[in-house]
Chain A
Amino acid sequence: MDKSNQLNKISRRSLLKMGALAAGALAVGVLPGQIAGADPDSPKYPEQLGFMYDQTKCIGCRKCAIACKSANKWEEGAKWRRVMSGARPDVYLSMSCNHCENPVCVAVCPVKAYKKRDKDGIVIHDKEVCVGCKYCLYACPYHAPQYSEATGRITKCHFCYERQAKGQKPACIEACPTQALTFGKLVDLQKTPGGVAQIQWLPAPELTKPSLVIIPKQ
């Protein structure tokens, strides 16, 4: 959970790239501010919520995605949660937004449509201010932002923050019949035996530090 190293690495790389440009002056004004506040030892979001997905329990019924669709009224073409099938039989992965510790969507969005909440690390996208530039579609390695041609804007999973405020579970988790999909404080989920941050073909977790724990099927 070494936040500052990650930031330093990214900033150094960005600055190197900027060296090729006269726009370097801008970067110097923007990037060091981020580094200064980082404390190397504590996670930036101690109360970060995360998903946990147990591949050994999932039966591939897709009720999580169906419940999400009806609870959140997906815009045409936008899939907030997807259930993927593996090469082996009965191996699935249910994934939505991973509410990353280092959310690149928040960084790249030119209109500040994305916000990461301090209190629980949920990344919420405001569709009312999204201009539909699609930069985040390229930036997110998990394809969490979803663009709708019909409305010309992005929408994505917000961890059912309104349901959670009312004491309810996220719709996907409530709908899961086998408890394959659960949620909780990320630091607790990460203590689960057998839990990993990455399975084959998924992007390296160092890229954005997703708040997702997977229990893989051997």
Chain B
Amino acid sequence: MDIYWHWLVVIYLFLGGLGAGAYLTSFAAEMGWLGENSSLRRVGYYIGGPIVGIGTLLLVFDLGQGFYKPWLLWRLVTNLNSVMTWGTIILAVFIAVGMLKGFLTFINRPVPSVVTWSGVVLAIATAGYTGFLISVIGAIPFWDSAIIPVIFFISALSTGLSITVLLSSIIEKASSENKGREDLTHIILIAAELVAVVAFVGIMASGVNGLVAQKSAILLINGKYALYFWGIFIGLGLIFPLAVYAVQYLRHRATEATVAVGGNADGQMEGPRQKQSLLTMITDFSVLMGGFALRALVIFAALPIWDGIKIG
């Protein structure tokens, strides 16, 4: 079996979800869902459009005609039956709207709510599209599942939250006062992704999607991609962050309780807080690696329903 889509497509699918997730993170922060005065309410808007834009640019390089006949690319919007056409339209408009929202936020101008909200709809569509694109391919049994868009969507939110937290901690002057809320959001997203992944891999490994899908699943569980699947995706991408966020969340609640009782002075907290933020950065980076590994594994484990060689 030849693999037709390589790293550029993997990066594109990852960045598509990442940018959309970053936008949605800042939106959630702006709405107050991530706590009051969240430090995340700008950076996701700055990076959402550009990240998806970079991903799309990389995809153009992957097209056979990206350099030879780039004028053909306008045709990408012509077949309204093709999921890829939907994606082209969704991504193009999201990049434009996302960048407008980011720019207006950057220069501190009021943003018309129609811009913000159409950005939200487009971001949701972008995140879902990256999974839906491959889930409609019946000739690849491993992709032929409605769970794939769900996993990709949750991973988009999770990685988007992580990149926004990571960059906000560098860019924003005021540090986050809502660690507890952010950790809880991380926990919910990663737990949901873990459940969806277990369901997906379980279904594929069970053989109900056919022997070829089972073979793909075995490539991940016990085959040539097992190290990446268990080590990077499940271990570093899901379990490790889940544990760190859970511990941080519980500690945070304990600290809050102590402070409420009237205990600690600020100075005493400086040491542990700094250590914690380095750990948070490492963990957020770990989430990004897991999200990237997810796209790579799903694309590279694709096996065709018939290999084009074997006959009875």
Contacts and interface: CB of A to CB of B under 8 A. Distances in A.
B79 A22 contact: no
A37 B81 CA distance: 15
Interface string B154-165: 000000000000
A114 to B, nearest CB: 9
Nearest to A141: B139
A199 B311 contact: yes
Interface stretch (B34-42, B64-72, B217-225, B226-234): B64-72
A142 B307 CA distance: 8
A20 B128 contact: yes
Contacts of B312: 86-88, 91, 199-201, 216
Interface string A181-197: 00000000000000000
A17 B311 contact: no
A26 interface: yes
Contact of B125 (A21, A131, A147, A200): A21
A129 B75 contact: yes
Interface stretch (B82-90, B250-258, B274-282): B82-90
A214 to B, nearest CB: 10
Contacts of B82: 107-110, 135
Categorize the interface residue count of chain A. 35 or more
Interface in A29-54: 29-30, 34
Interface stretch (B199-207, B235-243, B288-296, B298-306): B298-306
B139 A203 contact: yes
Interface string B39-62: 000000000000000000000000
Contacts of A23: 86, 90, 125, 128-129, 132
A131 B149 contact: no
Given A110-B76, A134-B4, A207-B305, A22 B125 contact: yes
B150 interface: yes
Contacts of B83: 108
Nearest to A151: B64
Given A137-B4, A141-B306, A201-B306, A153 B65 contact: yes
Q: Tell me if B's interface is mostly helix, strand, loop or mixed.
A: loop
Contacts of B150: 20
A21 B64 contact: no
Contact of B72 (A21, A92, A131): A131
B64 A130 contact: yes
Interface in B102-119: none
Nearest to B83: A108
B25 interface: no
Interface in A95-127: 104, 106-112
B32 interface: no
Contacts of A216: 312
A132 B63 contact: yes
A34 B79 CA distance: 13
Nearest to A22: B124
Interface string B85-101: 11010100000000000
11 contacts: A17-B136, A21-B124, A21-B125, A21-B149, A88-B312, A93-B311, A108-B84, A130-B64, A131-B64, A138-B137, A138-B143
The 4 A-B residue pairs whose C-beta atoms are closest, nearest first, are A132-B64, A152-B64, A200-B312, A21-B128
Interface of A: 14, 16-23, 26, 29-30, 34, 82, 84-88, 91-93, 104, 106-112, 129-135, 137-143, 147, 151-153, 199-203, 207, 216
